């Protein structure tokens, strides 16, 4: 029995260790990118190397990530408020976690600070 528990615990630890999670473990950046490509890419440049947004008034996500003071909390507040130009765009729950994990993943290491 003890061996079974040890084996099971080892398996769980192995599985967790292989999940693609961000530094703080909240949200899935790959899913966030999918969500951004489906919902945000019409206006924002969403990829790391993209600097020109389709809609020039929309900041590229890499630029958003590089803004000093952009943290999970700041993005979370932003996503729960209507966009200035888009009253219906509110992102919540898992979609918001994934999106935030993705945007924060665009920060270069020097900009990464604890929230
Ligand atoms: C119809 C075009 C459009 C779409 C679609 C859109 N945005 Fe925006 N977004 C804008 C514009 C324009 C601004 C700049 C508004 C301003 O600063 O007044 C903006 C600003 C932002 C900002 C703030 C940047 C900053 O530094 O203040 C964030 C973050 C953002 N958008 C995220 C998103 C996310 C996430 C999505 C998809 C879920 C999305 N946007 C979809 C047009 C859009």
pLDDT tens readout for residues 22-64: 456 789 999 999 999 999 999 999 999 999 999 999 999 999 9
Gap from CA of 101 to ligand 1 centroid (Å): 16
Gap from CA of 25 to ligand 1 centroid (Å): 25
Query: How many Å is the maximal CA-CA distance in the chain?
Result: 63
Gap from CA of 26 to ligand 1 centroid (Å): 22
User: Which atom belonging to ligand 1 lies closest to the Cα atom of 41?
Assistant: 5
Model pTM above 0.75: yes
What CA–CA distance (Å, rounded) separates 41 from 47?
9
Residue range 51-62, pLDDT digits in tens: 999 999 999 999
Architecture of domain 2-109: Orthogonal Bundle (1.10)
User: Which atom belonging to ligand 1 lies closest to the Cα atom of 99?
Assistant: 35
């Amino acid at each position: 029995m003890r061996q079974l528990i040890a084996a099971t615990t080892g398996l769980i630890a192995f599985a967790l260790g292989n999940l693609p999670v961000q530094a703080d473990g909240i949200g899935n950046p790959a899913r966030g990118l999918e969500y951004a490509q489906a919902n945000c890419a019409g206006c924002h440049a969403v990829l790391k190397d993209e600097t020109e947004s389709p809609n020039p008034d929309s900041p590229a996500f890499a630029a958003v990530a590089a803004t000093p003071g952009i943290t999970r909390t700041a993005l979370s507040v932003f996503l729960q408020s209507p966009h200035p130009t888009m009253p219906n765009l509110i992102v919540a729950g898992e979609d918001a976690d994934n999106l935030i994990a993705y945007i924060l993943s665009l920060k270069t290491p020097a900009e990464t600070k604890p929230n």
